[in-house]
Every structure is written in structure tokens, then in C-alpha cells.
């Protein structure tokens, strides 16, 4: 009797885990589905929240290819790779220095870095924009790449 109850409880727990996993999977994949479905709708139906569009069109994809999409993609790839590689080098060195080396003021530097992590990026975005504008970096790769490399949260893998 006890063994049978234990098997039923394990089976119920297993079924509950499967149902929970399916629900979480649907919850995670639903926005991706809606994005794909919206991309296949005509402009007039984009904001209709129907799960299945009335009409399908690839007009948006054709328009993006015609509008020099490859150039925009390569710009994004350049910025992403540059920020990733340079930030990886600098932040790995600073992380190593803080973790392995002993130097005067190490705890103070570490506490300063941690305290800057408590400031949300949305708070510094306007002063950062003004700084980039004053340096004359607007509308250039420098204006995107350098602030992203210097953002302190990358040191800790934020």
C-alpha cells in the first residue's frame, strides 16, 4: 500500500513537471512566434493580435533586403565583434587583477566597481549621450564602441 502510494506520488510529480515544462516552453516561445507571425502580416494587420494572420506576405523581408540590409548587418557585426573582443581583453585583465593580485587600494577599487553596478544604465544614458556629443563622436562607430567597452558592468559578466 505504501509502495503503491509512493509510485502514484512519483508519477503525479513527474506528470506535473512535464506540464510545467510544457507551459514554460510555450511561455518562452510565444513571443518568438508572435514576432514571426507579425513579420508575415501586411502593414495594416501588424497590430491585430490574432494568433494566426488572415493574410501572409513577405513584403517586409523584401523591403529590408532592398533597403541595404547587408550594410546594416555588417555595421552591427563590426560593432559587436569589436566591443566583445576589446572588452574581453580589458575586463579579463581587470578581473584577474582584482581576483589574484594584491595591491594597495584593491578593496576600494573593488567596492567602487560594485557600487557603480548599483546604478541602472538608464540613469547614465543621458549624461553618456552628452559626453559622446561633446567629444564629437555622434554618428560614428567610436560613439557606440568606446562607451560600451568602458561600461563597468562587463567586468563582472553583466
Pick left, alpha or beta for residue 102 (phi over 0 → left; psi -120 to 50 → alpha; otherwise beta).
Answer: beta
pLDDT at 158 over 70: no
Percent with pLDDT over 90 in the chain: 48
Could you tell me the three cell numbers for 82?
569589436
pLDDT at 155 over 70: no
Q: Higher-confidence residue: 155 or 35?
A: 35
pLDDT tens per residue across span 105-153:
999 999 998 888 888 888 888 999 999 999 999 999 999 999 888 876 5
Q: Which of 146, 118, 121 is nearest to 132 (CA)?
A: 146
* Residue whose C-alpha cell reads 559578466 in the numeric block: 157
- What DSSP string runs through 103-127? -TTHHHHHHHHHHHHTS-HHHHHHH
pLDDT band, very low/low/confident/very high, at 156 (cuts 50, 70, 90): low
- pLDDT at residue 70, as a whole number: 86
Q: How confident is the model over 95-100, as a mean pLDDT?
A: 92
Q: How confident is the model over 1-30, as a mean pLDDT?
A: 89
Amino acid at each position: 500500500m505504501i509502495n503503491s502510494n509512493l509510485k502514484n506520488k512519483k508519477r503525479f510529480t513527474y506528470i506535473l513537471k512535464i506540464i510545467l515544462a510544457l507551459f514554460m516552453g510555450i511561455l518562452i516561445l510565444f513571443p518568438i512566434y508572435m514576432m514571426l507571425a507579425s513579420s508575415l502580416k501586411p502593414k495594416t494587420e501588424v497590430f491585430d493580435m490574432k494568433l494566426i494572420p488572415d493574410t501572409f506576405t513577405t513584403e517586409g523581408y523584401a523591403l529590408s533586403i532592398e533597403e541595404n540590409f547587408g550594410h546594416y548587418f555588417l555595421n552591427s557585426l563590426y560593432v559587436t565583434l569589436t566591443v566583445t573582443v576589446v572588452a574581453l581583453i580589458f575586463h579579463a585583465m581587470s578581473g584577474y587583477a582584482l581576483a589574484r593580485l594584491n595591491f594597495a587600494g584593491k578593496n576600494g577599487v573593488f567596492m567602487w566597481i560594485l557600487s557603480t553596478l548599483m546604478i541602472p544604465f538608464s540613469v547614465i544614458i543621458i549624461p553618456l549621450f552628452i559626453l559622446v556629443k561633446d567629444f564629437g563622436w555622434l554618428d560614428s562607430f567610436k560613439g557606440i564602441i568606446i562607451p560600451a567597452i568602458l561600461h563597468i558592468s562587463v567586468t563582472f559578466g553583466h
